[in-house]
Amino acid sequence: SHAYALLTALDYVVWTPAIEEIAFRGVLYYSLRNRLGPMAAALMTAGLFAGLHFYSLPGFLVTAWSGFVWALAFERLRSVVPGIAAHAVYNLLYVAELLLLYR
C-alpha cells in the first residue's frame, strides 16, 4: 500500500540516519576517539558501519567512505547533525531511485 511505502521511506530517511549517526558517531566514535585518537576511531567506526551494511564490495567501500567522512565531520564540528543530514540525503536519493525503478 502507499501508506506502508510512505512510512517505510520516512523510517529510512528520517529515523535510520538519526539513530545510526547517534550510535556510530555520537557514541561509538566518541568513545573510541578518547582511547585511540581521531583517525583510528574514524577508520574503525567506518569499517564497522560498512560491515553492518555489507551488500557488495562496491557498496561496502562507498559506505565505509561515507562513514569515515561523517566521522571526520563529527570530529571537526562536534555535532552529529551534519552526519544525520548527509545520511538522510543519501538515503533519500536511494529511496527515490527505488521508487523510480520499481513504479
Residue 39: what residue type? M
Label residue 55 left, alpha or beta by phi (over 0 means left) and psi (-120 to 50 means alpha).
alpha
Residue whose C-alpha is closest to residue 81's, from 92, 73, 69: 73
pTM assigned to the model: 0.86
Contact 64, 49 (CB under 8 A): yes
Q: What is the pLDDT of residues 41-50, one digit of tens each?
A: 999 999 999 9
Contact 103, 24 (CB under 8 A): no
pLDDT number for residue 60: 95
Which of 3-7, 34-38, 40-44, 85-89 is predicted least confidently?
Answer: 3-7
pLDDT at residue 2 greater than cutoff 90: no
Q: Looking at residues 14-40, what average pLDDT do you find?
A: 96
